[in-house]
Structure formats: C-alpha cells, structure tokens
Amino acid sequence: MKQVNLDSKPNLDRRDFLTKSSVGLAGLAVAPGMILFDLAHGREPGEAASNLVRWGMLIDNNQCETGCDDCVTACSTENGFSGGTKATDSQWIRKVQLKDNLTGRVSSLPMMCQHCEEPPCVDVCPTQASFKRADGIVLVDKHICIGCRYCIMACPYQARSFVHEVITDQKTEVPRGKGTVESCTLCVHRVDKGETTACAEACTKAGHSAILFGDLNDPESAISKRIRAVATTQVRADLGLNTGVRYEGI
Amino acid sequence: MKMVTRLAAILFSVLIATTAYAADKPQTPHLDVGKGGQCVEEPQSMRKIHMNLLKHQRDETMHKGIRGQKHSLADCVECHASKTTNSVLGSSEAFCQGCHEYAAVKLDCFECHTSKRKVTAEASK
C-alpha cells in the first residue's frame, strides 16, 4: 500500500492496481511454498508443528499382499507392544481381508487410525485428551485421559485400543500406560525427526511399497501428486470426516 | 544434692549435643546419581521445581510436537539412571524413587514412561 501512496499518480487505474497487486501476491505465494518445503523435511528443534503441513498416507490396495503383515509387525516393534491379537491386546494397525462376492476378488489392506480432519474421537472426549495436532495427527494425551473409552465407541474405524494391564519396558519415545486409550500416532516421534512411519518403511523394505507417507498440503509431495493422478477413496467417505489416510484400488 | 545437680547438668549437655549432632546430619537419602554431571539447571532449584519444568515441557511436546528441549524426562533418565540397574527406580538409592520415598511424594511418571536409559545401538554391542 505504501508503494501506491508514493506513486506519482494518487489514484491508480484498475489495470495498474491489478498488475501491481498480482506481483505482490506472487511474492507471497512463493514464500509459503518455501516454508512448506522446509517443514516437509523435518522441523528446526524447538519449532512447533505447523498447520501448513498435513500428514497423511496413501495405501495402494493393489500392491498390498494378502498374508503379508510386515506393517503390523513393524508397528508393534516400533511402538513396543506385544503384537498379540487377544481382545485385551493393543492393536494400532491390523490387516483386514476384503472379498468382493460378485467377482470373488480377495484383497487385504491395513486399517489404522485414519487421522481425520474432523475426528469423532476428539468431538466426544470429555477431557480434551483426544486431540488433533496442528499438522493433522490425531493423538491421545495420556496425561489427561481418564480412560472412559468414549472415543473407542465413537471411532468408525475401530482404530483405538485400551490398555488393560500394567505395562513395563516401554520405548523411550512411546510412553504407554494402563488405564488410557491409545491408537496409531502416525509414528509422531519419527515424523518430528523428519522420518517416515514404521509401517511405510517396512512395506517398502518388503518390496511392496503399498504405503506412501507424506504431506497432503504440499502440492509437490509424492502423495499429493499421486492422489491428483489416480482415483483414491476414503473409507466411510459418507461420514465426511476427510481422513488423512486414503486407499487406492478398493 | 550437689551430685544430683551435677548429674542433671551432664545429662542435659549430652542431650543437647546429640540433638545438635542429629540436626547436623539429617537423614538425607543416599542417591545413586548415575552419570550425573552438570544438570540443566541449578541442583537446588531442580529439587524444588523439576516437576513444573517437566510439566511445561510435557505439554509443549505432546501438543505442539516440540522435541529435544532441555527439560525432558527422557534426559533426566539419561543422566540419572543407575549405572548398575540402568534405571531411576527399583531401590531406595535409585535417583527418582529414593528422593520421592524420602519426601513421601507419589511418583506417577513411570506408570507410562520408561524408567530405563535408552540403550543405544553402540552401547548394546
């Protein structure tokens, strides 16, 4: 605006105004783009998670092999839980088998917290322990979780687990304790270091590369390019939750 | 009578002396400080306010994702876990448990957080 005032012509005509303001806008657009790029490659120490980023995953059902559970194993190893499937065991990620009765096609996919933009678990939490971080990761603050399990009821994806037993030998980065609810953290401790999730890493290592992790807000990220190029779906898209985890080929 | 007075005086001075001795050496806990070294704050202020620092840091990390700051519980354990048991709990000498027992304050952190120092890949070799 200063530039406008200093101009010899006090009243710019419409054409001049549009030209000058569009130059200004282009400058603005470049700067957030650069910030986005920086954030996508790990934040500075001491810097808070930003809503310029939205972490998400794309799971390619065509690449996901039935019978392979490397992502599930990697998750339990990374986060330090047993990997058991008893009713009282925590499961942050599980393989779901699908069968199309018309065609007979059998496929499987990993199901975990979908990191919704509008998470029902956050809506129902009476203590605000269930919350969504600025970068779209849905977490449980176990310091204020009272273990009421309302969020477990609210989650349409059955993605949450309750810790029933006393736990010892937790991982340093993944505190877990009896009487609290937990779910996939999108490997938040790794993401904060600029790394990818344990499941995505294991899937790539197994040669399937069915899980693609990245920033949905960055138009240049691999995941954004992919969801722009191919048809992908959200599970229970009818609920309008805008999940951060999307599936391809289901 | 003189004897009784003298005895009483001796007894009184002994009592005073033992009380003074006890006051000089309070029953402070003997702690295994682990690696120890220079703390992130003055030890005297850490004794008083470590819980406030930890609580502040906990919210910053949990809700904003700010990691690697100097007041983290993981770093407390890193320096103060016993060199023998690798833990800040487990005995009355253990750094966290010892002092909390002495002060009779319940210690909740390690219901969820690990009390053990992170074993690095190089250390486990």
Contact of A212 with A196, CB cutoff 8 Å: no
Residue A138 reports pLDDT greater than 60 = yes
Q: Is B77 on the interface with A (CB under 8 A)?
A: yes
Rounded mean pLDDT of A119-141?
97
Contact of A212 with A82, CB cutoff 8 Å: no
The model's pTM: 0.79
* Number of CB atoms found within 10 A of residue A23's CB: 10
Domain limits for position B77: 28-124
The answer to whether residue B10 is domain-embedded is: no
Rounded mean pLDDT of B82-101?
93
Q: What is the pLDDT of residues B36-50, one digit of tens each?
A: 889 999 999 999 999
CA–CA separation, A215 and A211 (whole Å): 13
Report the residue from A47, A48, A175 with minimal CB separation from B113: A175
pLDDT at A27: 42
Count of domains for chain B: 1
Residue A85 reports pLDDT greater than 70 = yes
Residue A36 reports pLDDT greater than 80 = no
CA–CA separation, A105 and B38 (whole Å): 63
Assigned fold of A55-248: Alpha-Beta Plaits (3.30.70)
- Give the tokens for residue A140: 């449980």
Strand A211-215 to A55-60 pairing? antiparallel
Residue B26 reports pLDDT greater than 90 = no
Q: Provide the chain B residues 13-72 that lie in CB contact (below 8 A) with chain A.
A: 58, 60, 62-69
CA triple B75-B76-B82, angle to 5 deg: 115
pLDDT, greater one: A172 or B1: A172
Rounded mean pLDDT of A95-99?
93
The answer to whether residue B60 is domain-embedded is: yes
Distance from CA of A37 to the nearest CA of B (A): 18
| Probe site for chain B from A122, A140, A170 (most B CB atoms < 10 A) | A170
Contact of A244 with A120, CB cutoff 8 Å: no
Weakest-pLDDT range from A11-15, A30-34, A228-232, B9-13: A30-34
Q: How many Cα atoms are found within 13 Å in the side-chain-facing hemisphere of A127? A: 14
The answer to whether residue B23 is domain-embedded is: no
Q: Which region holds residue B112: left if phi is over 0, alpha if psi is between -120 and 50, else beta?
A: alpha
CA–CA separation, B80 and B74 (whole Å): 10
Chain Cα centroid distance, residue A68 = 22
Residue A11 reports pLDDT greater than 60 = no
What are the boundaries of each domain within chain A?
2-40, 55-248
Q: What is the pLDDT of residues A218-247, one digit of tens each?
A: 999 999 999 999 999 999 999 999 999 999
The answer to whether residue B16 is domain-embedded is: no
A46 pLDDT band, cuts 50/70/90, is confident
pLDDT at B28: 81
Rounded mean pLDDT of A118-131?
97
pLDDT at A59: 97
B29 pLDDT band, cuts 50/70/90, is confident
